[in-house]
């Protein structure tokens, strides 16, 4: 049985590559990876990165450690997302556009052309919502979300102010945590879309991530009339890991 793992820093997500429809397992490893816990294929480590522009995976792998991708300006490094990107490209080789990979802590945007990653950007959007409100990216009232999103896209310099206001609404006016998190998510994603406008404007965008984390981005991008592809995160990682497995030479 071949297992492939995505290391997040405290958690190891494991895919059984011999079971096509099996969902990944999650193993909490607060003390870090150990030799016994490391699967045959592993991404998300501090391996020597490859510099953009390049393919998501190298043509050959000397071992089961998958190297991250890096870009000098702005300094950005993948955290295992290169596997999902490789999986998506392998299944959509003619895709030319933008990949958006929202995560619990951060969101990676990657420009893909001719089966290569041309450039990328990372935003700590999830981490800011979690830090301010101890909550995840979410959408409560969709109309209020879109209104807050539009307002911040028009004035992205107010994103931090909107975050503080959402935090104060909870403590001073009894706003529910979910409603406050929704407004905070809208404000920060609005600022993110303003910053990435040159990426997504006039482009097709593929969303890759957990359904609940992608939902705010789907609504936000839909509101800007961006053509969207919704890709199954687990399927993209599985396809990427299978591609990596075929390239191991060591």
- Per-residue pLDDT tens for 28-41? 888 888 877 789 89
pLDDT above 90 (res 10):
no
Average pLDDT, the chain: 94
**71-91: average pLDDT:** 97
Residue 183: band (very low, low, confident or very high) from pLDDT cuts 50, 70, 90: very high
pLDDT above 80 (res 242):
yes
Structure token pair of residue 172: 């001073």
**57-69: average pLDDT:** 96
Q: How many CB atoms lie within 10 A of CB 150?
A: 15
List Cβ<8 Å contacts ≥24 apart for 156-162: 156/190, 156/191, 156/194, 156/195, 158/187, 159/187, 159/188, 159/190, 159/191, 162/187, 162/188
Residue 60: band (very low, low, confident or very high) from pLDDT cuts 50, 70, 90: very high
pLDDT at position 35 is 75
pTM of the model: 0.94
pLDDT above 90 (res 2):
no
Q: Kind of pairing, strands 228-232 and 41-43?
A: unpaired
Residue 250: band (very low, low, confident or very high) from pLDDT cuts 50, 70, 90: low
pLDDT at position 1 is 60
């Amino acid at each position: 049985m071949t297992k492939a793992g995505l290391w997040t820093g405290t958690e190891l997500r494991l895919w059984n590559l011999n079971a096509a429809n099996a969902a990944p397992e999650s193993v909490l490893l607060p003390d870090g990876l150990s030799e016994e816990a490391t699967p045959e294929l592993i991404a998300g480590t501090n391996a020597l990165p490859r510099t953009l522009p390049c393919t998501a995976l190298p043509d050959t792998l000397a071992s089961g450690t998958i190297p991250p991708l890096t870009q000098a300006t702005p300094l950005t490094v993948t955290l295992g997302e290169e596997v999902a990107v490789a999986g998506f490209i392998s299944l959509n080789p003619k895709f030319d556009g933008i990949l958006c990979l929202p995560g619990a802590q951060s969101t990676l945007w990657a420009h893909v052309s001719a089966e290569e990653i041309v450039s990328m950007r990372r935003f700590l959007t999830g981490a800011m919502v979690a830090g301010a409100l101890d909550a995840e990216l979410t959408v409560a009232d969709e109309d209020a979300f879109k209104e807050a999103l539009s307002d911040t896209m028009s004035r992205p310099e107010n994103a931090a102010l909107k975050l503080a206001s959402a935090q104060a609404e909870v403590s001073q006016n009894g706003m529910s945590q979910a409603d406050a998190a929704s407004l905070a998510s809208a404000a920060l994603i609005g600022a993110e879309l303003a910053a990435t406008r040159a990426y997504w404007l006039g482009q097709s965008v593929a969303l890759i991530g957990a359904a609940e984390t992608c939902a705010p981005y789907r609504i936000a991008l839909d509101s800007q009339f961006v053509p969207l592809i919704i890709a199954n995160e687990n399927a993209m990682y599985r396809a990427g890991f299978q591609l990596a497995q075929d390239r191991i030479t060591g």
